[in-house]
Amino acid sequence: MNYFELFSFTPSFDIDTAILADRYHDLQRAVHPDKFANASEQDKRLAVQRTAQVNDGFSTLKNPISRAEHILSIRGIELRHESTTIKDTQFLMQQMEWRESLEDIAHSKDPDELISELSRSFSGYEKQQEQSLKLFLQSATEADLASAADLIRKLKFMAKLQLELERAEDALFD
């Protein structure tokens, strides 16, 4: 299913999430199973299916990484259940440094500063990668779409790192 069509958007990395939320609420009101309480069993099942599609679509489009994955999926490149590894040596080295810094938080003299530093580093890297991703997704060339797929893999890794950073921060306050 093309979620951009469902929500009346042109497939694009940049979408207005406020408009997305408005359209989500409108679609939810239109297909919510409660509206079909007195309908046939088939209509009730269809309402449940449509509601699930609307929920899946909203969750896919509101997240930049899953939105980018969806764009590639529409173009025939499926990343959701793949296990391709990142081959960018520079990124792998940076990844190791970030992981070491995450491990150092618990033993740091100033863990708040280290957390802030890592957060800034993660955010800066993610913004830079998202700008490149946006450009690659606007292209139709196979090479650019392959580059977009690589950036999505990196951004997925960054999302995991961000979660680990949040857990480390939570552990400090427990």
| 155: containing domain | 89-173
Average pLDDT score over residue span 114-128: 96
pLDDT for 142 equals 94
Q: What is the reported pTM?
A: 0.86
Over 90: is that where the pLDDT of 104 sits? yes
108 and 58 belong to one structural domain = no
Number of folded domains that form the chain: 2
pLDDT at 80: 76
Please give the DSSP secondary-structure letter assigned to residue 85.
Answer: P
Q: What is the DSSP string of 120-168?
A: HHHHHHHHHHHHHHHHHHH---HHHHHHHHHHHHHHHHHHHHHHHHHHH
Whether pLDDT at 85 is above 80: no
CATH of residue 123: 1.20.1280
CATH code (residue 17):
1.10.287.110
What's the average model confidence in pLDDT over 145-149? 95
Q: Do 103 and 164 reside in the same domain of the chain?
A: yes
